[in-house]
Amino acid sequence: MKADSVVAAAGNHAWVPLVHGAKGTRWIDRGDIIIRWIGDGLEVKLKAECQYGSMSRQIRNTDVYFRRGVAFAAIGNNFTVRLHREPAVFSNAGLSLYPEDLAATLCALSTTTSARMVNDLAPGIRFDVGDINRLPLLDILQANTIVARVSREFGHTERATQTSHAFRQPGPSPWRHAQEWAQLAVDRAPNMPLPPYEPEYDPEPPTDHLSYALGVALGRFGLDADGVGTGILDPDIAEPSQALPAGILFLDGTLDPADNSDSLGDPAAQLLHNTWTTHGPFIDTKRRHLRDYLRLEFFGTIHRKMYENRPIHWPLTSSGKTFVAWVTIHRWGEGTLRTLLAEHLQPALKRLDGELADLREARQGADTKSANTAERRFAGVQKAHGELVQFIQDVRQCAEKGALPTKKGGPEREVDARYHPDLDDGVMINSAALWPLLNPVWKDPKKWWTELCAAKGRKDYDWSHLAMKYWPTRVDEKCQKDPSLGVAHGCFWKYHPARAWAWELRLQDEIEPDFRIEEESYRGDGGDVAHRAAYLADHGEDALKAIDTEVRRRAGRGKDRVKVRELSLLESGLWTDFRKECEALERTITKWQSAKFRLLAPDSPHDKSAPKPGGADKVLQPTLPYVSTPDANK
């Protein structure tokens, strides 16, 4: 999943930027890969903890998370560096440096001399931190000016790039020339002035404008009163006034080119018509009509490639590609498929029924010429009618029950369930459940559905909401074994209360004191409130051991060790039911650190101003341990 809006700060955020592989990127990291980070990355950390025995064996250097740095390519034939666009976390493929002077470091490592030296030090295809540390840091004059200009031109390009969360509307890009200028600037001789800079713009392809017009029609992009692009619309709050009803563009291939009685006749499609008139002649296609181009060619040649096989607009397509309904995932609602049936497919079927009746009557008429014309037309309309009937059946199946197996005898759904995509599942998972409707133009969802059904090895996607919807027993059993899946599906407290308690204590230190891991009712239980209370009542001594462990973690080690004077609980109960054990814990920690320690709680005998239970502003909702990347899912 591409980044639409990102909160870049440590703590309890839905999505944050992830610095990953470079893929040839230089100067500025696009920041378009994001990772789920609820509870300060709780799901990711729990997964590492379960797999490796310790979170720190997989997740390191968290002290520099959400600091801007300079990333370098770990693998490749040529050494390249790029500036973090935003504060971020990073993967093992996003190796980064965190110097005080970002601009000076970026420019020094971007020189041809530095790249040549690194390539000599690491003659293979892998670069590591040791290679970079051996480099002399060249002094590049006016580094701040160079980086400022590059950053400005990068921003200009991002505002014209549809896959960027900064996108506004299509336009030419100065980025190629800006990079060439920056390279000349950092490679110039000492004491030489910066080379002159005059922007040179590469024109955008005409398909960018048609893609944009489609996005406006589907409700993905917005326009102001003057027709100027306002960028990506927030599906939770924005009401796309320029969009088609329900965000559906239905295309009926049985209509004459001049007949716009499908969605192309809606006023919201006018921008598409205008764009086709202006830019269509310059698009490399043999299609003469807008309907045919959008129905038969645009997805495969433009949209799927633009979004690196994770397209956000989906063409639900009949077997013969006669009928196509474009829908964007960001505007998909629980009733989208039912609306498609009621407002588009059923009326189209009724029209074909009427046309077939008229043709039958004409075939039997006295006018031979009209009868022959009707005979020739009848076969085509009848074929389209049968195609539409099957398409309607497929849409109903996916909408009301779920997709069928990809092959006879293949694994099936455990239960029937209505289709309703969850954006956190990403493009890959959500499209898989619609594979029969996408298979005529996009084969990958069929493969992904097979993998989703099997749930084996690295192709196990049972972290997804959709997997829980169609295979609830299988996923529930895994939640009982894997705490990260418990977090993903809202049953962490139910199946792993000890770990939930320990992590809640830790996150109250790392995020804020009133943080709670909150979960709604899971299959009729009492949610986190009931399970937390039961754990403290039935396993009070274990809960106190977890407090002991947390105090020692907060204290730290070695020269950075501090004295922990107190730890505050939000819950009552431990002091009431385990008073002696609480007093013993205070004495143990006090002796261990040679400093007074107090365990505060609403029912403790100490400070009556200790925090009261309830009222936490930051909560952990059920989420997914899912990294969104262009090849996803994110």
Q: Are residues 231 and 83 in the same domain?
A: no
561: how many CB neighbours lie within 10 A of its CB?
11
What pLDDT, on a 0 to 100 scale, did the predictor assign at position 191?
A: 86
Using CB atoms within 10 Å of the CB of residue 323, give its burial: 0 to 12 exposed, 13 to 18 middle, 19+ buried: buried
CATH (domain of 87): 3.90.220
356 and 394 together in one domain: yes
Same-domain check for residues 390 and 496: no
* Pair (495, 431) in one structural domain: no
Q: How many CB atoms lie within 10 A of CB 459?
A: 12
Whole-Å CA distances, 269 to 157, 248, 302, 383, 556: 27, 11, 19, 28, 62
HEC per residue, 513-555: CCCECCCCCCCCCCHHHHHHHHHHHHCHHHHHHHHHHHHHHHH
pLDDT at 627: 39
What SS3 state is found at 327? strand
Q: Which residues 6+ apart lie within 8 Å of 53 measured at CB?
A: none
Residue 537 and residue 464 share a domain: no
475 and 495 in a common domain: no
| pLDDT for residue 613 is more than 60 | no
Looking at the DSSP assignment, which residues form a beta bridge with residue 17?
A: 34
Q: Where are the beta strands (DSSP E) in 241-376?
A: 248-252, 313-317, 323-328
Q: How confident is the model at residue 146 (pLDDT cuts 50, 70, 90)?
A: very high
pLDDT score, position 622: 38
Among 487, 463, 628, 458, smallest CA distance to 18 is for 628
Q: What pLDDT score was predicted for residue 370?
A: 77
The tokens describing 216, both together, are 């406006």
In this predicted structure, what is the pLDDT of residue 7? Answer: 43
Helix or strand (DSSP H, E) at 337: helix 336-340
List, as one string, the DSSP characters of 391-458.
HHHHHHHHHHT-PPPSSTT----SS-------GGGHHHHHHHTTHHHHTTT--HHHHHHHHHHH--GG
Position 374 pLDDT exceeds 90: no
Same domain for 29 and 118, yes or no, is yes
Q: How confident is the model at residue 617 (pLDDT cuts 50, 70, 90)?
A: very low
* DSSP assignments along 43-75, one per residue: HHHHHHHHHHSSGGGTS--GGGTTS--EEE-SB
Assess whether pLDDT exceeds 80 at residue 615: no
Do 223 and 77 lie in a common domain?
no
- Which pair of structure tokens corresponds to residue 168? 């506004």
Is the pLDDT at 274 greater than 80? The verdict is yes
State both tokens at 548: 């002991």
Overall average pLDDT of the 130-157 stretch: 91
Residue 124 predicted with pLDDT over 80: no
- What share of the chain in percent tops pLDDT 90? 70
pTM (predicted TM-score): 0.89
- Which of 542, 559, 544, 558 has the alpha carbon at shortest distance from 589? 544
Binning pLDDT at 50, 70 and 90, where does residue 609 land?
low
- What does the block give as tokens for 125? 């295809």
CB 126, CB 22: distance < 8 Å: no
110: in domain = yes
Question: Per residue in 316-361, pLDDT tens?
Answer: 999 999 999 999 999 998 899 999 999 999 999 999 999 999 888 8
My answer on whether 218 and 333 are in the same domain is yes
Which residues are registered as beta bridge partners of 34?
17, 628
Please, how many CA atoms are within 13 Å of residue 39, restricted to the half-sphere of its CB?
Answer: 26
- Would 322 be classed as within a structural domain? yes
The verdict on residue 407 lying in a domain is no
Least confident residue range of 267-281, 481-495, 561-575, 606-620: 606-620
Number of domains in the chain: 4
Q: Could you tell me if 139 and 66 lie in one domain?
A: yes
pLDDT of residue 618: 38
Which helix (H) or strand (E) element contains residue 229?
strand 229-232
**Same domain, yes or no: 578 and 561:** yes
Across residues 454-461, what is the average pLDDT? Answer: 92
Q: State the pLDDT at residue 123.
A: 67
User: Is residue 5, in this structure, part of any structural domain at all?
Assistant: no
pLDDT of the residue at 416:
96
Angle at which helices 112-121 and 175-187 cross, to 10°: 80
Q: Which residue did the predictor score with more confidence, 57 or 266?
A: 266
The rounded mean pLDDT for the chain is 90
* pLDDT confidence bin for 624, thresholds 50/70/90: very low
Q: State the average pLDDT over residues 225-242.
A: 84
171-200: pLDDT as tens digits? 999 999 999 999 999 999 998 999 999 999
Looking at the predicted structure, is the pLDDT value of residue 253 above 70? Answer: yes
- Whether 454 is covered by a domain: the verdict is yes
pLDDT digits (tens, 9 = 90+) for 398-441: 999 999 999 888 888 999 999 999 999 999 999 999 999 999 99
pLDDT number for residue 295 = 98
The answer to whether residues 30 and 139 belong to one domain is yes
Can you count the helices (H) and strands (E) in the chain? 26, 15
Q: Is residue 621 part of a domain?
A: no
* Last-in-domain residue among 127, 153, 187: 187
Domain span including residue 76: 13-187
Q: Of 333, 366, 400, which marks where a domain is finished?
A: 400
CA distances from 573 to 576, 582, 607 (A): 5, 11, 16
Q: Which of 432, 453, 481 is the last residue of a domain?
A: 481
Cβ-based neighbours of 503, under 8 Å, separated by 6 or more: 39, 42, 46, 517
**In 455-495, which ranges are continuous DSSP H helix?**
465-470, 472-481, 483-488, 492-495
Q: Which residue has the tokens 């009427």?
A: 354
- The pLDDT value recorded for residue 11 is 56
Greatest extent of the chain over all pairs of C-alpha atoms, in Å: 110
Task: Say if 466 falls within a structural domain.
Answer: yes
**Residue 168 counted as domain residue:** yes
